[in-house]
Structure 1
Amino acid sequence: MPPPRNCKNASVKQSWPGRAVPMVKNGQDEKEESSQVKRSPSSPQGAPKKRSVFGDITNAHKTWHILGKKEAPEMAKGAAKKVSKGTRVLPAIAKNNEINLKKSLNRVPSEDPPAAPSDPEVKKDLAKSDDPSWKAEEPEGLVTPIEDIDKGQLDDPYASAEYAKDIFIYMREREEKFLLPDYMENQPDITTDMRAILVDWMVEVQENFEFTHETLYLAVKLMDHYLVKVTSMRDKLQLIGCTAILIASKFEERCPPCVDDFLYICDDAYKREELLAMEISILQTLHFDINIPIAYRFLRRFAKCAHANMETLTLARFICELTLQEYNFVQESASHLAASCLLLALKMKKLGGWNPTLEYYSGYKAEELPALVKRLNFLLTYSHDQRLKAVRSKYSHRVFFEVAKMAPMDMMELEGALKS
């Protein structure tokens, strides 16, 4: 087994216990190493340095054009003569290279300036473009954002700043496919209260396993979409919720738990075969299309547009998570729900309203949100089911700024704040 390429002296390095150290014979390995491409010590796993893949072939004539016509043939001759040591070039390949070089030299564009256009309309357009006072007219109804919210994160590879806008436009289009109907009328053995208790249990599971919030939101969506198409009995409802978390954790988490862990949190009420069979049933029913847009992703995006601090974002997250248990909010689209939760949080913290930047990136105007905002404030204000404690208990902790203890707004006060 040859030594690593970056290793200059294999005999100096200490070997691991139980592993034989290869011997260097007559410097043969050193010669092979010298014939390889030089590796950059900063590159991962000794990979070669970055270079333009097609720079030596496709862009050759462009380089010669910049240097001048007279220097190009000399470069071609020099390039044909230069061959790196230890590299063999077949005669047929060398001949083809010379033919290609001659063809590329013949295709070098002329350095003469282009002729002036004769069309009067083209002349008119060129004159406008040269005039610094002239500006192109923007189409009517287009809202111009105040700032580019992705500009400051171009160096962050995890932010995907170059594609963030396109990603959320795609998600807005995609969520139209996943709008939920009123499916409880087709479920004779399941009630909205049973669903609320199940979601409350799913929130506890998310906390115990320390899953991301995306996993929780996606699991609830998977459960709802499955119940739209399949009539289920109440004794299988927890199995559906548990399996939905299993699938969502595989989709969202870096290291999802094993099947036995999910059987344990169900208090061994189901067998392993039942859980796996339910996983197959959910995936086949949804045609394996489980990348469902969720409100949590839109909420983080909109909070970034509003420059909301972590406490304001957590308050909006608390309001949004409360809606997971409420069947009355199931039919709301994810982006509309996220925008309304953020607007209510901004009003509760007295941080302003829906500005042009939020309108541009969310796609919602200020007058489209008040109806849902009032429903959300009603959810916060009036008494709730005492059996559903997971969300309020979770957001009463100091880690979440105890936002669940914050007093909701008066309905009349909210009415005036939304009009201002």
Structure 2
Amino acid sequence: MPFPRGKKPTVIAGSKIPKLNGKVAEKQQEEGPQVKRSSSPPHGAPKKRTAFVDITNAHKVQICLPGRKKEPVKKTAKKTSSNSSSVSAKNQANLKKSSSVSSEGTTAEKEERKAGGEEEEAQRDAAAPVEELVAAAAPPAGRQLPAHLQRPQIPEEFDIDSGNVDDCCMTPEYAKEIFDYLKQREEKFVLRDYMPQQPSLNPGMRAILIDWLVEVQENFELNHETLYLAVKMTDHYLSLTPVNRENLQLIGSTTMLIASKFEERSPPCVDDFLYICDDAYQREELISMEAGILQTLGFDISIPIPYRFLRRYAKCVSAGMDTLTLARYVCEMSLQEMELVPERGSLLASACLLIALVTKDLGGWSPILRFHSGYQPADLAPVVRKLHAMLSAPPDDKLGAVRSKYSHKVFFEVASLPVVDIDILEKALSQ
């Protein structure tokens, strides 16, 4: 029976241990308690190459530096009487050869010193070109880096990331550059009103779908980024492909599945989305729709969403959680408006935050917000007016998911707050 791997077999009292053969025992007595294995590999076998010196034999290793004479290794005499005769015979043979070796010792030492000196010179010659290349690659003291390699200069009064220096997950060194890149990237995903090319759909059907996706996000406890990304993918797909109204819910479920895979740590499975659709679609239909949406979008689903910009701009003014939640409520309500689909995410987030700041009487669009967002109050005016009209409109009974969600105490009941007067907003926009 083989022994378990990693464990040595234990000898049990009374067990039979096979005795050694007589010849083998005599041989072991002659050679001593330890038998030295041959270090030479078998014929035809590759040579072994170790990365580190064996620690057990470290006392036998001698490091030879260039230009230094090797010192002979002192050998310890064996104490066993059986090996003393063989050792003495070897010593006598070495004494006979010592006379011939001593005459050649001086020349060997000279050759060794000469070889060591040549090796040092070769090392210096090899290091010289490397030093010259490093010196040539280094830019002169007065020369500046190209514009695309220079870090953006942030004034001290506008620096909002220096407090996160110790947190590597926040990447404070690149935060400004990351959001500048997202702001440039959203130019690629600017949409237009695509309803004229959808004969089977209308803005009301789209609003009902978005309202249902809000319920899905809340029931599955998904991130808000997942909801916003699903809505963006739905709009981009509808802007490129005419669809029937019967497949509208299938498209929304599939985009939510894709967004969950993109944003969530543990996304819901396919069966979960089939269940929330009340088994109106087959598994093969959802998987086929997933492949079709990804191919239509060119697998480019990293779309900048307004929710990320909203959190970034709220940090600029150290907005409280209640103010940020109010801005999130306005931004989530805007997802249902077809009129706001063509607006850029950064501009929409800025307008939502301005409404929240004015509602909470926390000031207007301050200089630090102008610096990080790149928008002036005049740029926000058209979007702010559209959002105010949306909030002032009477609620629709068919579209109550967002209002019901933000009427909860967890969200500070921001949906029940009175809408700010338009004159106060106009005054903040004129500053």
Q: Work out whether the TM-score is over 0.5.
A: yes
CA contact (8 A) 2:66 2:120 kept: no
After TM superposition, list the pairs within 5 Å mapping 1:181-330 onto structure 2: 181-330=192-341
After TM superposition, list the pairs within 5 Å mapping 1:12-411 onto structure 2: 20=4, 22-23=6-7, 101-103=123-125, 144=155, 146-411=157-422
CA contact (8 A) 2:158 2:371 kept: no
Separation (CA, whole Å) in 1 of partners of 2:386 and 2:227? 23
Separation (CA, whole Å) in 1 of partners of 2:372 and 2:425? 24
SS in 1 for 2:419: coil
CA contact (8 A) 1:145 1:356 kept: no
Aligned amino acid, residue 324 of structure 1: L
SS in 1 for 2:158: coil
Gaps of 5+ in 2: 10-33, 35-49, 56-64, 71-115, 133-141, 143-152
Please report how far the alpha carbon of residue 147 of structure 1 lies from its aligned counterpart in structure 2 after TM superposition. Answer: 2.5
Please report how far the alpha carbon of residue 98 of structure 1 lies from its aligned counterpart in structure 2 after TM superposition. Answer: 5.5
CA contact (8 A) 1:143 1:356 kept: no
SS in 2 for 1:146: helix
CA gap 1:109/1:203 in 2 versus in 1, 3 angstroms:
closer
CA gap 1:401/1:78 in 2 versus in 1, 3 angstroms:
farther
The Cα offsets for residues 194-240 of structure 1, whole Å up to 9 and x where unpaired, read as: 00000000000001111100000000000000000100000000000
Structure 2 length-normalised TM: 0.68
CA contact (8 A) 2:329 2:406 kept: yes
Separation (CA, whole Å) in 2 of partners of 1:241 and 1:314? 25
Separation (CA, whole Å) in 2 of partners of 1:78 and 1:341? 77
CA contact (8 A) 1:144 1:356 kept: no
SS in 2 for 1:268: coil
SS in 2 for 1:158: helix
CA gap 1:180/1:95 in 2 versus in 1, 3 angstroms:
farther
The Cα offsets for residues 282-340 of structure 1, whole Å up to 9 and x where unpaired, read as: 00000000000000000011001111111111100000000001111101000000011
Q: Give structure 1 regions of 4+ aligned residues with deviation exceeding 6 angstroms.
A: 34-37, 76-79, 94-97, 107-110
Please report how far the alpha carbon of residue 157 of structure 1 lies from its aligned counterpart in structure 2 after TM superposition. Answer: 2.3
**Identical amino acids, percent of aligned pairs:** 54
Separation (CA, whole Å) in 1 of partners of 2:276 and 2:54? 55
Aligned amino acid, residue 293 of structure 2: I
CA gap 1:105/1:155 in 2 versus in 1, 3 angstroms:
same
Moved more, 371-380 or 144-153: 144-153
SS in 2 for 1:372: helix
Separation (CA, whole Å) in 1 of partners of 2:167 and 2:429? 36
Structure 1 length-normalised TM: 0.69
Please report how far the alpha carbon of residue 108 of structure 1 lies from its aligned counterpart in structure 2 after TM superposition. Answer: 10
Separation (CA, whole Å) in 2 of partners of 1:232 and 1:96? 80
Separation (CA, whole Å) in 2 of partners of 1:393 and 1:36? 71
Aligned amino acid, residue 258 of structure 1: C
Which residue does the alignment assign to 2:99? none
Aligned amino acid, residue 153 of structure 1: N
Aligned amino acid, residue 253 of structure 1: E
Separation (CA, whole Å) in 1 of partners of 2:117 and 2:274? 69
Separation (CA, whole Å) in 2 of partners of 1:357 and 1:96? 65
CA gap 1:257/1:419 in 2 versus in 1, 3 angstroms:
same
Gaps of 5+ in 1: 1-18, 27-31, 38-75, 82-93, 111-124, 126-141
SS in 2 for 1:162: coil
